[in-house]
Amino acid sequence: MTIKVWDYIEEYKENKDEILKTVDEVFSSGWLILGDAVKSFEENFSSYCSAEYGIGVDNATNGLFLALKALGIGKGDEVISVSNTAVPTISAIVSAGATPIFVDIDDDTYQLNTSLLEEAITPSTKCILPVHLYGQCVDMDPIIQIARERSLYIVEDCSQAHGAKYKGKPAGSMSDLAVFSFYPTKPLGGFGDGGMVLTSNKDLRDKMKRLRFYGMEKTYYAEEHGYNARLDEVHAAILLKKLIKLDASNDKRRALAKRYDEVLGTTSLKLPVKSVFNEHVYYLYVARHKERDRIISELKKKDIFLNVSYPWPIHTMRGYSYLGYQEGDLPNTEKASKEIFSLPMYTTLRFEQQDVVCSALSEILGDSISL
């Protein structure tokens, strides 16, 4: 039995007829770009996240880039974020012309350590970009308070947090602009690239809509310099169908996470820590162990495949060496990168497959478990 860390094939088989019917409806409609499907998905997803407006984009990287551009952030400006994130978060900051400033993470949740924010702020700071990592939200109240006191923007990176909540507030509803990814692996994932930017500011909505479409509004006339970053109709139509099932999908993720917690709680693994103020959707189930590499290697021999998010902190990558960070600057981030790994987590993962994973881990670790 091969068990992947993530797989979409079973989900596709279960929903194949509906998906192909949806694709055919779009292809037969005569409208493939920025039509009714995109509009409906924007309205429904923004409502789901308690935001006023949604702007569909081609991917979350461009969504973050355009969000920063819409806020006027560029050369000479600094954006505070974390190094324990996907490269696109930082790529978007750099592409906008700004400089990323890294703060270390909390050692338990791997989220941005908000107690370090104040010391990272300089006269050049324009924005805080928290990343809601692995399926739960950053502690947003301190960020919001600091942003208000310092007149800073907040852009939420919600690429891993569809349906997550912080003190009852949905991810994507606590900032000037919030960006979601619909990459296939995500809690709400499509069958290709896709993204959305949310806001409750009408002016920012209008700006974003222009920026994603060459700076144009209703006619082929550029009101400002813009880009090509549109969400396709076919992706929007599929995502609109999947949105209806998102809560049930997240419930399945929570059920899988609970079983991992119960079965592996007596082992030497450090299991995910859920903040008390969060509703976690477990985009990833991230465990930790000093013998991470051995565990991954031994499980691979048993046809069980894991993943590491992320094995190299961005501040240590050659592509960003010009920023001047050295190894040791972000100790929690660097230590975690050598020990964390993700167990299989997706909605069609069966409990019996999960038990196989747990049994194999128990054998490798030499720890007893009860199934």
Question: For residue 310, is the peptide bond before it cis, meaning its omega torsion is within 30 degrees of 0?
Answer: yes
Nearest Cα to Cα of residue 86 among 1, 167, 169, 195 = 195
Alpha-carbon gap, residue 298 to 302, rounded angstroms: 7
Strand ranges across the sheet with 153-157: 53-57, 195-199, 177-181, 153-157, 125-128, 78-82, 99-103
CA dihedral (71, 73, 79, 84) positive or negative: positive
Three-state DSSP at 193 gives coil
Alpha-carbon gap, residue 297 to 301, rounded angstroms: 7
Q: What is the pLDDT of residue 367?
A: 87
Question: What one-letter code names the amino acid at 48?
Answer: Y
Q: What is the pLDDT of residue 1?
A: 83
Strands (E), the chain: 53-57, 78-82, 99-103, 125-128, 153-157, 165-166, 169-170, 177-181, 195-199, 278-279, 285-288, 340-343
Tens-binned pLDDT, residue by residue, of the chain (371 aa): 899 999 999 999 999 999 999 999 999 999 999 999 999 999 999 999 999 999 999 999 999 999 999 999 999 999 999 999 999 999 999 999 999 999 999 999 999 999 999 999 999 999 999 999 999 999 999 999 999 999 999 999 999 999 999 999 999 999 999 999 999 999 999 999 999 999 999 999 999 999 999 999 988 999 999 999 999 999 999 999 999 999 999 999 999 999 999 999 999 999 999 999 999 999 999 999 999 999 999 999 999 999 999 999 999 999 999 999 999 999 999 999 999 999 999 999 999 999 999 999 999 999 888 77
User: Cβ distance 178 to 199 under 8 Å?
Assistant: yes
Strand duo 177-181 + 153-157: pairing: parallel
Which residue in this structure is represented by tokens 């490798």?
364
Q: How many CB atoms lie within 10 A of CB 241?
A: 15
Q: What is the pLDDT of residue 265?
A: 95
Strands (E), 211-349: 278-279, 285-288, 340-343
CA dihedral (307, 312, 314, 320) positive or negative: negative
Structural domains of the chain in order of their starting residue, each with its CATH number? 9-103+111-243 (3.40.640.10), 246-365 (3.90.1150.10)
Alpha-carbon gap, residue 21 to 78, rounded angstroms: 46
Alpha-carbon gap, residue 258 to 274, rounded angstroms: 11
Residue 141 DSSP symbol: H
Q: What is the pLDDT of residue 371?
A: 77
